[in-house]
Structure 1
Amino acid sequence: MSGSRTAPVPVRLDVLNLLTAGGPVLGPLETWVRDWEVRGRAEMCEAGTLQQRVNHACATLRFNLEWAVTAHPAFDEFAREVGLMHRQCTAHVAGEKPPRAIPVTCPCGAVLRVTLHMPGVRCYGCQTQYGHDEVLRLPMAERRAAA
C-alpha cells in the first residue's frame, strides 16, 4: 500500500461562513444598521471582534425596532431577512438540512434556484429583482433545464 491517507479536516465550512464579516449574519445586520444610520436612527460601529460587531448591530436594531415597525418603508423586508437569519442559525444548531432549492424560470429564460425561505432573488440573466412572493409565482423550470 503506497501513500498515506489522512482524515478530512473536521470543519463545517457552512458554520464557519456564519462567522465571517460578509457572511449571512453580520453582513445583512450591518447593512440594516447603515440604512437606519442614514435615517438618523443608528450609529455604525465596525470596530472590535466579529462577535462584538454582531452584538452592536443587534442592540442597535433592537433599540430602534419600535420606530422601524411604524416608520421604516422596508420593515417587511427587514423582518424577512432577520427571520431567514434566525432559521439558518437554528438549522445549524439543530443539525437540520438546508431548504430544498426549487428551479424556476425567469421570463428572460434564466433558471433561478430559490427556496421557500428566500426574501427574494436577483436574476443573473436580466438583473430583474424579485421579491419573495414574486419569485414564487415564476413558473417551475422544465426538468432538463433545471439540471
Structure 2
Amino acid sequence: MLMKGSSRISGPSGSKTPPIPPRIDVLNLVGPGGIAARLRDIEDAWRAVLGWTVAPWRGSPAEAIPQHASFLANNLLWACGSYESVGQDIDDLRRLHGECAALASGEKRPGRVQIGACPVRIDDGPCGTALTASTGSHRVHCGGCGARWDGLGEWRDLRAAQEAVLAEQAGVAA
C-alpha cells in the first residue's frame, strides 16, 4: 500500500478460481499406504521368514521404491519355491502394477459394484462369498468356489438363485 501505483485490496486476497481438485488415485499411490508402503510390507514379510533384519530406513518413497523392487526381484526365485504366501504377494504386486499402469496411461478403471452373496451350494449350504460385478465386464466370478456367470441370461439365473437362498434362510429363521 505504501508503494506508488498500488491500490487498496478489498476482500480476501488470492485467486478467484477454485483450486484443481486432487486426483485421489494419484494420492492413493504416492501417499501413506501407497506404492512404497505396499512394497515395503511384502519385503518385510519376506525378510521375517528368511530371518533377516528389517531393512533400514531408505529415505523418500522415490528413493525406497527402486530398492524394494530390487530386493523383491532378487529374492523372487526363493519366494516362489519356499514362501507359502507368495501367491498373495504376487496378486498384490499384480494389482499394484495395474493401478500404476492405469494411472500412467490415463485410463479410467471400471468401477465395481457389490451384488450379493454367492448362492452356489457347497456341502451343507451356500458358498456365501461376497460377489462384485465390474462396470467394464459382463462376467461375474466367485473367488470362493470358482463359479462363473457370463452375460445377461446367466445374471438372471444368479439373481434368482440368490433370491431362493434368501427365501430359504428367511423360512428357516421364521
TM over 0.5, shorter chain: yes
Q: TM-score range by the shorter chain?
A: 0.5 to 0.7
Instruction: Report the CA distance shift for 1:59/1:21 in structure 2 as closer, same or farther (over 3 A).
Output: farther
Match of 1:60 in 2: 71
Match of 1:82 in 2: 93
Provide TM-score, normalisation by structure 1: 0.65
Match of 1:97 in 2: 108
Structure 2 distance, partners of 1:26, 1:115, is 29
Q: Is the 8 A contact 1:34 1:44 kept in 2?
A: yes
Match of 2:23 in 1: 12
**2:140 is aligned with 1:134:** no
Structure 1 distance, partners of 2:147, 2:56, is 39
- Which protein, 1 or 2, shows the higher relative CO under an 8 Å CA cutoff with sep ≥ 6? 1
Instruction: Report the CA distance shift for 1:97/1:136 in structure 2 as closer, same or farther (over 3 A).
Output: farther
For residue 46 of structure 1, the aligned residue among 57, 65, 71 is 57
Match of 2:46 in 1: 36
**2:72 is aligned with 1:71:** no
Deviation at 1:114, TM superposition (A): 4.4
Structure 1 distance, partners of 2:132, 2:56, is 33
Deviation at 1:137, TM superposition (A): 5.3
Deviation at 1:41, TM superposition (A): 6.6
Structure 2 distance, partners of 1:41, 1:61, is 16
Question: Which amino acid is the alignment partner of residue 85 of structure 1?
Answer: L
**SS of the residue 1:22 aligns to:** coil
Provide TM-score, normalisation by structure 2: 0.56
Which consecutive unaligned segments of at least 5 residues does structure 1 have? 117-131, 143-147
Q: Is the 8 A contact 1:29 1:57 kept in 2?
A: yes
Per-residue CA deviations over 1:90-110 (Å, capped at 9, x if unaligned) read 001111112320313348xxx
Structure 2 distance, partners of 1:61, 1:41, is 16
